[in-house]
Amino acid sequence: MKVLISDNISSKCVEILKRSGLEVDVKTGMKPVELKSCIGDYHGLIIRSATKVTSEIIDAAANLKVIGRAGSGLDNVDRVAATKKGIVVMNTPGGNTITTAEHTISLMLALARQIPMATISMKTGKWEKKKFIGVELFNKTLGVIGIGNIGSQVAKRAQGLAMNVIAYDPFFSEDKAKAMGVEKVDIEELLRRSDFITVHTPLTPETKYLINKDTIKMMKPGVRIINCARGGIINEKDLYEALVDGKVAGAALDVFENEPPKNNPLITLDNVISSPHLGASTKEAQENVAVSIAEQIVDYLIHGTIRNAVNFPSVPSDQIARLQPYINLAEKLGSFAAQIFEGGATVITIEYQGDASEIDTASVTIAAIKGFLTPILEETVNFVNALFIAKERGIEVKETKSSDAGDYQSMIVIMVKAKEKENYFAGTLFSKKDPRIIGIDNFKVEIVPEGELLFIYNNDKPGVIGNLGTLLSKKNINIARMHFGREKLGGRAISVVTIDSPATTDIIEEIKRLPNILSVKQITL
C-alpha cells in the first residue's frame, strides 16, 4: 500500500511507515491541481495544516482509505465528503496540549513584564527602565474560558505561579473543579473578576466573537487578554478600540481571524504582543504528532485497527456497513441536541427503539456522545475519548432499549437532562440510510440534519415565514429547505431553515427582532 505525505513532517514519520512495509512518497508544496492528479494512486494521506483536502480532492481519491492529520485541527479537511466516501479521518489529539499551554503562559509572562517591547527598545540603543514597569502575576486572578485539555494545563501552571484561577465552562463539573483547585464561575463573573483572561475554546457559532465590546465592558479596567486558541473568538475591531482607550491594558495573540493577518491594526499597537500561530510549534510536539500519526496509519492500513478517528469508531469491518447509518444518525442527533440545549448537561440517555434495539449499540452510543461534545470541544473529542470526556465533565451516560418504535421501523432518542430540565430529540433513518430528526420535545418535525440551519422558536402566527424569507433574501442568503412543527394551532411553533451560507451575528440579531420570533440559534451540522 502507498502513503502520500503532502506537508512537512518529522522524518520519524517516514521511518515508521517504511519499517512497516508501506511505500511512502513525500511531496510537499503541491498545488491543489497537482494533488488532485496524483491522489488516486494512494491508500493513505498524511497532512498538517497546509494541505487542503477538499471534496474535489476526495472525489479524485479512488483508493484512499485514510487521511491522517499530524496535529489536532481539521479545518482543512472536508470530513463530510470523506465520511460519505468511507474514508477514515484521524488526528492526534493531545499532541500539542503541553506546548500550547506553555506558550500561553509564556505570552502571559511576556505581556505582564512587556518583554518584547523592552527588547525592541534595547536593540535601538535605549535604556527605558521607567517606561516598561510591569505587573506581577502573584495573587492575580486568571480567568480561563474553556477548561478542557489545554485550559486545564494552563490552570495548573498558573497555580504554580501562585495565581488565583477561576474558570468558565458549561460542561465542567463542580466536582472536577474542586479536584483541580479551580473555582467554577459563570461567564459574567469571570469577566468582572479577572486580571488576566485566556481563552481555550473551539471556534463555534456560540464562541464566535465571545470577546466583544459588550463583554469587554464587563471586564476590569486594565485587564489583559491572551488567545492561543482560535482566531474569531475575539472580535479584533472591538479589542483594538479597547486597547486604544485603555480599558484593556494589553493583549497577547497567537491566532487571528485571518492568517497571516495582513494590515491588521492590532499588531501595530505597543500594548499588543503577537506570534505567528506558534502554539503547537515545538520540536517535541512536532515529533510526537509525527510518530503518533504514523503509528495510527500503520495500525489501520496493516492491521485494520482504527484509533483517534473523528468520523468512525473502532468497529469490526464486517459490521461497518450495517452500523454506519446508525452511527451517522446518532452523531448528527447528538450534535443537534448540544447546539439546542442550554446549560450544563448532567445525564444523557440514549434510547434505541425498534430495529435499532437489535444492533450492537456500543459504537452508536459513543457516536451520540461524540456528536454532543464536539460543538463544545471541537477536535479534542473523538470516538476513543468521548465517553471518558463525558465522565470527566460530570455527565452520566445511560442506554435503554425498546422493541417498539411507534410509527417508525427504528428510532434513536437522545434525552439530555440538567438539574431542572430535560430535552428530547428523536431521529430515524429513511430508506435505511438517510438520517432525519423527527422529534424535538413536543414538536413533530422532519429535518434533514446537514449544513447550516436556523433553529427558531416562534408564535404560530401568520407572516413569520414571509418576514423571515424577505429578510434572508435582502441579505442574499438562499433558503435550501424549511421544516415546521407546532404544539397546537396558534401556540408555540418551531421553524428550522436550512440556508446555503452562514448568517452573520448581525443578521441573527435582525431575525430576533422580527414579529413573533421568540428565539434564534444557528446550528452547523
Which residues are known to be catalytic? 230, 259, 277
Query: CA separation (Å) from 307 to 165, 294, 299, 301, 325?
Result: 34, 11, 8, 12, 20
Residues β-bridged to residue 88 = 66
Cβ(505)–Cβ(464) below 8 Å: no
DSSP 397: E
Instruction: Name the 3-class secondary structure at 243.
Output: helix
Which pairs with CB-CB distance under 8 Å and at least 24 residues apart come from 187-191? Answer: 187/145, 187/215, 188/218, 190/143, 190/145, 190/166, 191/143, 191/215, 191/218, 191/219
Please give the angle made by the CA atoms of 397, 345 and 452, to the nearest 5 degrees.
100
Interior angle at CA 254, CA 310 and CA 148, nearest 5 = 45
SS3 248: strand
Q: What is the Cα–Cα distance from 504 to 396, expressed in whole angstroms?
A: 35
C-alpha 464/C-alpha 469 separation (Å) is 9
**Preceding omega of 93 cis (within 30 degrees of 0):** no
Phi, psi of 460 (to 5 degrees): -80, 80
152: Cα separation from own chain's centroid: 17
Q: Which three cell numbers stand for residue 254?
A: 497567537
**Unique residue bearing C-alpha cell 511507515:** 17
The span from the CA of 338 to the CA of 389, in Å, is 15
CB-CB contact of 2 with 25 (8 Å): yes
In terms of Cβ atoms closer than 10 Å to its own Cβ (0-12, 13-18, 19+), residue 513 is exposed
Residue with cell 429535518: 447
Residue for cell digits 497532512? 47
Q: How far apart are CA 253 and CA 95, in angstroms?
A: 21
Cβ atoms of residues 34 and 57 within 8 Å? no
Burial label for 121, CB within 10 Å (0-12, 13-18, 19+), is middle
- For 499, phi then psi, to 5°, come to -120, 150
Residue 429 has φ and ψ, to the nearest 5°, of: -115, 130
Residue 465 to residues 97, 284, 440, 513, 523, Cα–Cα distance (Å): 46, 55, 20, 14, 18
**In angstroms, rounded to a whole number, what is the distance separating the alpha carbons of residues 477 and 500?**
7
In the numeric block, the cell 480567568 is attached to 143
